[in-house]
Amino acid sequence: MNVREALLARKSVRAFLERPVAREIIERILDAARHAPSGANTQPWQVAVVAGHAKARIEARMLAEFRAGRRGRPDYPYYPAEWRSPYRERRFDCGMQLYEALGIARDDKATRLAQWERNYRAFGAPVAMFFFLDRRLAQGSLLDYGMFLQSVMLMAVEEGLATCPQAALAEYPDIVREELGLADEMMLVCGMALGYEDAGHPVNGYRTPREPVSAFTRFIDE
């Protein structure tokens, strides 16, 4: 598989098989991803790979908070406070594709809520990865982190695995830090579901569209 093939094959998967992922495979993924670039070679990534009982404990606590109506307080704002065009429309279309694939009507609030709760279970993946950043670093390290995360996802494709990067898994950072024994100075950037795709599940059967190069690129040669 070449780089282009991996880029086009990667997608956000929201239904996984129960098949476990061997630790040596995850180590191979991270061993390759660590070669991602970072400013001044700071290598700001810190990763927690969580499975089994540890994953179940974190999931249970996050779900309990969510069901009690206590909204999470992520370590930084991932989304804007106010959505503007064209991002508002893209976000809406993305959600519509998801619910249409699952056959969930817009007015079926109960089923939509149940589907949202799957976020906190990493969509049933056997592994949840949590990515941390030292708060004493600056915003440039988030750019470094994006390159690292993409490297993780592309290597997962090469290993026959599927992923879903998740802001939702970072909505209750205090719970995650407490369960993992981490200090508050470690900012939770995001989570990621990792496992083998349930290819027969309808939620994995659609792909979100991408804008053509001409829509976001200018070539200036004079």
pLDDT of residue 164: 98
User: pTM score, two decimals?
Assistant: 0.96
Number of domains present in the structure of the chain? 1
pLDDT along the chain (222 residues), means of 10: 95 97 98 98 98 98 96 95 96 95 92 94 98 97 98 98 98 98 98 98 96 97 92
Q: Are 51 and 180 in contact (CB under 8 A)?
A: no
Q: How far apart are CA 151 and CA 148, in angstroms?
A: 5
**Domain containing 16 — which CATH number?**
3.40.109.10
3-state secondary structure of 154: helix
By the 10 Å C-beta count (0-12 exposed, 13-18 middle, 19+ buried), 134 is classed as middle
Task: Output the six-digit token pair for 120.
Answer: 């906190």
59-91 in b/e form (b: 16+ CB < 10 A) is bebbbebbeeeeebebbeeeeeeeeeeeeeeee
pLDDT of residue 106: 86
Q: Which residue range(s) make up the domain with 177?
A: 3-206
Question: Is position 219 within any domain?
Answer: no
Task: Output the six-digit token pair for 25.
Answer: 């495979």
Question: Is position 214 within any domain?
Answer: no
Question: Is position 212 within any domain?
Answer: no
Question: Is position 216 within any domain?
Answer: no
Question: Is position 28 within any domain?
Answer: yes
Residue located via tokens 């070449």:
2
Question: Is position 122 within any domain?
Answer: yes
By the 10 Å C-beta count (0-12 exposed, 13-18 middle, 19+ buried), 180 is classed as middle
Question: Is position 220 within any domain?
Answer: no
Question: Is position 120 within any domain?
Answer: yes
pLDDT of residue 1: 86
pLDDT of residue 22: 98
pLDDT of residue 42: 98
